[in-house]
């Protein structure tokens, strides 16, 4: 039996679990022993030397045991199932769907009425956008939480969420919700108490009596929302102090250097897990730890904290998965899946922002050289984790392209980023896109992009022009994007409405709480009439929906796509194609994507990567492909997944 627990820890666990059958207690203690090093080492980073760690660990053990004692039997069974299938999130049959509960089904219960629709697509994981009780008025799409233990009353109740989780589970779908770790709403109980002068509550946040420290930090801090929330600190007159606010003025950054913050969030996390939530999307985690003289992102303590939270989950509720939302550079990103001493000990999933950015960049330029370079050098993730791959989401697209990567293909980084923002806002002659510029920063010249997948990919413009050929091209671009994220070593996430080609919601500005934030352009309400058109042959809805569904089915049938097998980008020497190999024990799979609206040959050498058979099979269509002296010719925007027959 590995590891021994400190005597007091074991005693606290046994005392708390006294009423449970001996087997349950044994199981808890086995897990506590197994994950003890992760917990103790994780806490030592941020709290060691400043707090009594032994005391903290004893206190936490009591908390973990109490939450374990409450865990419903059905979920304990799920814990066991997941222990024998630890790679459940990496399986090629996994497909995620991301939706706003209100915009998809009206309410939490309403969402439950559309599970047949999701099952039809092949969805196995449903992320409902922030649904915990937000502050009133503008809440940054729910990312300003007032009460982590209550559901937004406009959407329903915690009981209804529990019911939905159970319905999903019965259909083999997992519920994912957001847990905002970096900040609370300025209306959260702690913030209210802080404003009323409560010192302990003030210590939950980062507050300052004057500008000295804020100014010192500002020297190296970037701005997330320079347009509508400039700066990183907000003056709170009731408290007569500045408070750290990375995002909006009403989102107060938490002080994770205070172990009480850790304790409270461990408790909330397990409380949600016990309601049947299976995946937690850990929002804005990069910002959790601050260090003077840095950009206050990706500090080592963030990974320690996430490791310790992960250990809490593994001890009490091992069925659940962690998805890190850290939109950071590739070299920093891979730490969220665990590097070095954190290897395999942090999140199961992390958003692959670069894949999304490189896709849109290559689509605009019809040039894959930079994508091949950047994705080819991408750090390898641990084999036990998966990328969360996506082509669009609820956020803007930040053109995260490094100057040196642009320079390597002969472009100026700044100009290229500006070009992309302009292209996707439809400002360039010849652009197929109809989006908008988000957060135009006059100081840095930085611009980001808003717009739905369909509008950015050309469908909106094509339908307006009534040009069938352009509609066809837009549909192909949409399917190409999905093929790319379905073939990568990850778990693909569909963003609500993209499966039907929903266009921009131009009416977003009518809502005063949304008017200032054009990310609402790409957060339209679900159009159920459009969903019905998926049954009418030849409509854009039908072609996109069926195309995505066919890709999902092909993916499920293709074991090579298990996320433990890395996607290795290969340079075919053909700057219009993006290719990668998945070297699986069953043999290699070569994925090739044509990023242009013209036919493109792979070249003959490419096929050698698949093996000696002269006629490989495309796993998407299930058909053998014709190979000539120039290799295989790809149709406009076509993807193939080639393997030996
Ligand atoms: C994440 C969310 C984004 C939100 C921010 C602050 O980046 O995706 O929508 O504005 O966190 O919570």
Segment 135-159, tens digit of pLDDT? 999 999 999 999 999 999 999 999 9
CB 369 within 8 A of CB 409: yes
Provide the pLDDT for residue 278. 98
Provide the pLDDT for residue 445. 87
Residue 584 phi/psi, 5-degree rounding, is -100, 150
Tell me if 633 is assigned to some domain: yes
Mean pLDDT of 533-537: 98
User: Is 283 annotated in the active site?
Assistant: yes
Provide the pLDDT for residue 229. 83
Provide the pLDDT for residue 512. 94
Q: What is the pLDDT of residues 209-251, one digit of tens each?
A: 999 999 999 999 999 998 888 899 999 999 999 999 999 999 9
Tell me if 470 is assigned to some domain: no
Q: Does 143 sit in the ligand 1 pocket, CB within 6 Å?
A: yes
Task: Give the list of residues 6+ apart from residue 525 with CB closer than 8 angstroms, or none.
Answer: 103, 505
Structure tokens at 82: 């997941």
Short-list 253, 313, 245, 244, CA closest to 285: 253
User: Is 113 annotated in the active site?
Assistant: no
Structure tokens at 124: 């196995």
Proportion of the chain above pLDDT 90, given as a percent: 96
Residue 566 phi/psi, 5-degree rounding, is -65, 150
Average pLDDT of the chain, as a whole number = 97
CB 489 within 8 A of CB 387: yes
pLDDT at 74 over 50: yes
Q: Does 284 sit in the ligand 1 pocket, CB within 6 Å?
A: yes
644 confidence band (pLDDT: 50, 70, 90): very high
Q: Which residue range forms the structural domain that includes residue 201?
A: 189-253
State the closest ligand 1 atom to the C-alpha of 141, by its place in the atom list counted from 1: 9
* Domain end call among 217, 232, 253: 253
Tell me if 77 is assigned to some domain: no
**Measured in angstroms, how far is the CA atom of residue 143 from the centroid of ligand 1?**
6
* Domain end call among 213, 230, 253: 253
Structure tokens at 432: 């197929």
CA distance 176 to 435: 28
Burial class (CB in 10 A: 0-12, 13-18, 19+), 468: exposed
CB 127 within 8 A of CB 146: no
**Measured in angstroms, how far is the CA atom of residue 17 from the centroid of ligand 1?**
38
Q: What is the pLDDT of residues 156-209, one digit of tens each?
A: 999 999 999 999 999 999 999 999 999 999 999 999 999 999 999 999 999 999
Mutation to probe ligand 1, out of 129, 140, 520 (largest number of atoms < 8 A from CB): 140
Instruction: Scan for tokens 């500005």, then name that residue.
Output: 509
4 confidence band (pLDDT: 50, 70, 90): confident
Q: Which of 325, 395, 499, 517 is catalytic?
A: 325
Q: What is the DSSP string of 255-315?
A: -TTSHHHHHHHHHHHHHHHHTT--EEEEETGGGSS--TTS-S-S-HHHHHHHHHHHHHHHH
Tell me if 455 is assigned to some domain: no
CATH number at residue 209: 3.90.400.10
Instruction: Scan for tokens 């500090």, then name that residue.
Output: 299
CA distance 377 to 599: 28
CB 534 within 8 A of CB 527: no
Which protein residue's CA is at the shortest distance from atom 4 of ligand 1? 143
CA distance 425 to 228: 20
Whole-model pTM: value is: 0.97
Short-list 119, 126, 133, 123, CA closest to 164: 126
State the closest ligand 1 atom to the C-alpha of 394, by its place in the atom list counted from 1: 9
Mean pLDDT of 603-609: 91
Neighbours of 464 (CB within 10 A): 11
CB 79 within 8 A of CB 85: no
CB 413 within 8 A of CB 405: yes
Structure tokens at 436: 């908008």
H or E, element range at 600 = strand 600-601
Tell me if 393 is assigned to some domain: no
Give me the residues paired with residue 491 across strands. Answer: 388
Tell me if 591 is assigned to some domain: yes
Mean pLDDT of 404-430: 97
Provide the pLDDT for residue 2. 57
415 confidence band (pLDDT: 50, 70, 90): very high
Number of domain units in the chain: 2
Provide the pLDDT for residue 604. 85
**Measured in angstroms, how far is the CA atom of residue 306 from the centroid of ligand 1?**
18
CA distance 327 to 589: 29
Provide the pLDDT for residue 80. 96
Mutation to probe ligand 1, out of 129, 186, 245, 284 (largest number of atoms < 8 A from CB): 284
Tell me if 622 is assigned to some domain: yes
Q: How many helices, marked H, and strands, marked E, lie in the chain?
A: 23, 26
Mean pLDDT of 433-438: 98
Short-list 478, 614, 619, 486, CA closest to 544: 478
Which protein residue's CA is at the shortest distance from atom 11 of ligand 1? 284
CATH number at residue 579: 2.60.40.1180
H or E, element range at 216 = helix 212-218
pLDDT at 1 over 50: no
130 confidence band (pLDDT: 50, 70, 90): very high
Q: What is the pLDDT of residues 78-101, one digit of tens each?
A: 999 999 999 999 999 999 999 999
* Planar angle of CA 408, 367, 401, nearest 5 degrees: 50
Structure tokens at 549: 């569904």
* Domain end call among 238, 253, 268: 253
Residue burial 518-534, b: 16+ Cβ < 10 Å; e: rest: bbbbbbbebbeebbebb
Neighbours of 113 (CB within 10 A): 12
Strands 448-450 and 397-398: antiparallel
Tell me if 213 is assigned to some domain: yes
């Amino acid at each position: 039996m590995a590891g021994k627990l400190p005597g007091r820890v074991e005693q606290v666990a046994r005392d708390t679990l006294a009423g449970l059958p001996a087997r349950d207690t044994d199981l808890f203690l086995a897990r506590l022993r197994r994950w003890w090093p992760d917990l103790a080492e994780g806490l030592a980073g941020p709290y060691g030397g400043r707090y009594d760690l032994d005391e903290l660990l004893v206190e936490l053990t009591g908390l973990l045991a109490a939450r374990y004692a409450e865990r419903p039997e059905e979920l304990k069974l799920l814990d066991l199932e997941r222990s024998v299938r630890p790679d459940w999130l990496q399986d090629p049959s996994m497909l995620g769907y991301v939706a706003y509960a209100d915009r998809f089904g009206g309410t939490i219960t309403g969402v439950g009425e559309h599970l047949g629709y999701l099952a039809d697509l092949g969805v196995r994981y449903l992320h409902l956008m922030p649904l915990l009780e937000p502050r009133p008025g503008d809440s940054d799409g729910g990312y300003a939480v007032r009460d982590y233990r209550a559901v937004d009353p406009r959407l329903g109740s915690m009981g209804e969420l529990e019911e939905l989780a159970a319905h999903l589970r019965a259909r083999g779908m997992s519920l994912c919700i957001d847990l905002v770790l970096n900040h609370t709403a300025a209306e959260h109980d702690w913030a209210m108490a802080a404003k009323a002068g409560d010192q302990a509550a003030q210590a939950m946040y980062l507050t300052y009596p004057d500008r000295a420290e804020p100014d010192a930090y500002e020297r190296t801090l970037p701005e997330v929302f320079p347009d509508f929330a400039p700066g990183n600190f907000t003056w709170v007159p009731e408290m007569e102090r500045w408070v750290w606010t990375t995002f909006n003025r009403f989102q107060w950054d938490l002080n994770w250097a205070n172990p009480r913050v850790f304790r409270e969030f461990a408790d909330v996390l397990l409380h949600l897990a016990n309601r049947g939530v299976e995946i937690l999307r850990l929002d804005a985690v990069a910002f959790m730890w601050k260090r003077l003289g840095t950009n206050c992102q990706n500090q080592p303590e963030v990974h320690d904290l996430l490791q310790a939270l992960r250990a809490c989950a593994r001890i009490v509720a091992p069925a659940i998965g962690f998805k890190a939302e850290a939109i950071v550079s590739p070299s920093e990103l891979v730490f969220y899946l665990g590097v070095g001493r954190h290897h395999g000990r942090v999140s199961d999933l992390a958003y692959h922002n670069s894949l999304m950015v490189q896709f849109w960049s290559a689509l605009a330029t019809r040039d894959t050289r930079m994508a091949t370079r950047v994705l080819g050098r991408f750090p390898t993730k641990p084999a036990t984790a998966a990328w969360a791959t996506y082509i669009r989401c609820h956020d803007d697209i930040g053109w995260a392209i490094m100057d040196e990567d642009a320079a390597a293909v002969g472009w100026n980084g700044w100009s290229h980023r500006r070009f992309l923002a302009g292209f996707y806002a439809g400002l360039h002659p010849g652009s197929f896109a109809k989006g908008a510029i988000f957060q135009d920063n006059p100081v840095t010249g930085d611009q980001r992009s808003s717009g739905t997948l369909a509008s950015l990919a050309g469908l909106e413009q094509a339908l307006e022009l009534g040009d069938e050929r352009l509609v066809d091209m837009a549909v192909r671009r949409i399917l190409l994007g999905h093929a790319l994220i379905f073939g990568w070593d990850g778990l693909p996430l569909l963003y609500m409405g993209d499966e039907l080609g929903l266009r921009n919601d131009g009416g977003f500005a009518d809502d005063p709480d949304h008017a200032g934030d054009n990310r609402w352009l790409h957060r339209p309400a679900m159009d159920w009439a459009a969903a019905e058109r998926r049954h009418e042959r030849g409509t854009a809805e039908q072609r996109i929906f069926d195309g995505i569904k066919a890709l999902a089915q092909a993916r499920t049938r293709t074991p090579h796509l298990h996320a433990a097998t890395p996607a290795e980008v290969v340079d075919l020497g053909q700057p219009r194609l993006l290719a990668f190999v998945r070297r699986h024990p069953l043999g290699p799979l070569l994925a090739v994507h044509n990023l242009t609206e013209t036919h493109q040959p792979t070249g003959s050498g490419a096929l050698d990567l698949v093996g000696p058979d002269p006629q490989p099979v495309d796993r998407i269509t299930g058909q053998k492909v014709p190979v000539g002296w120039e290799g295989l010719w790809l149709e406009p925007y076509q993807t193939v997944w080639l393997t030996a027959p």
